[in-house]
Amino acid sequence: MDVVIYHNPQCGTSRNVLAMIRNSGVEPHIIEYLKCPPTRLLLTQLLDRAGLTVRQILREKGTPFHDLGLGDPSLSDDALLDAIEAHPILMNRPLVVTPKGVRLCRPSEAVLDLLPPQRGQFIKEDGERVIDDLGRRVATT
């Protein structure tokens, strides 16, 4: 299975998603989007495939979102895409592309619907058990 992850190694959610991809037996193509951001055309195609708007992919925390006034609902998609092009950190992550679809994987478990079955247990960095020893999702309470 061909999998692409738009990844930020400084992000715990992104690291967990990458680890779950690998736990499924897949070695993904890793694109560190801060170093190599997707083109405007590719990003709009990915968003379309994911069923997301440009506004839904914007990240506020730890970005210049507020300084740039991006919360203004009158801003067009083109204006938001201009901001993402100028500041790739504004793109929320991780974005994962597989033959099963495209998804913004927040929470990290969202990636599981795009992958083959997990190959054994998976525990997130924070200690939360997501997959049991048999590769099954652990029910959350």
How many domains does the chain fold into? Answer: 1
What is residue 33's predicted lDDT score, i.e. its pLDDT?
97
> What domain range includes position 64?
4-131
The answer to whether residue 137 sits within a structural domain is no
**Per-residue pLDDT tens over the stretch 53-67:** 999 999 999 999 999
Note the pLDDT of residue 19: 98
Note whether residue 83 is domain-resident: yes
Domain for residue 78, yes or no?
yes
Q: What is the CATH number of the domain that holds 62?
A: 3.40.30.10
The DSSP annotation for the chain comes to: ---EEEE-TT-HHHHHHHHHHHHTT--PEEEETTTSPPPHHHHHHHHHHHT--HHHHB--TTSSTTTTTTT-TT--HHHHHHHHHH-GGGB-S-EEEETTEEEE-SSGGGGGGGSSPP-S-EE-TTS-EEE-TTSPBPPP-
Active site residue ranges: 11
- The reply to whether 140 falls in a domain is no
Q: Is the pTM of this model over 0.75?
A: yes
In the prediction, which pLDDT does 139 show? 75
- Residue 110 within any structural domain of the chain: yes
Q: Is residue 85 part of a domain?
A: yes
- Is 136 domain-assigned? no
- Indicate whether 64 belongs to any domain: yes
| pLDDT, tens digit (0-9, with 9 covering 90-100), for 23-80 | 999 999 999 999 999 999 999 999 999 999 999 999 999 999 999 999 999 999 999 9
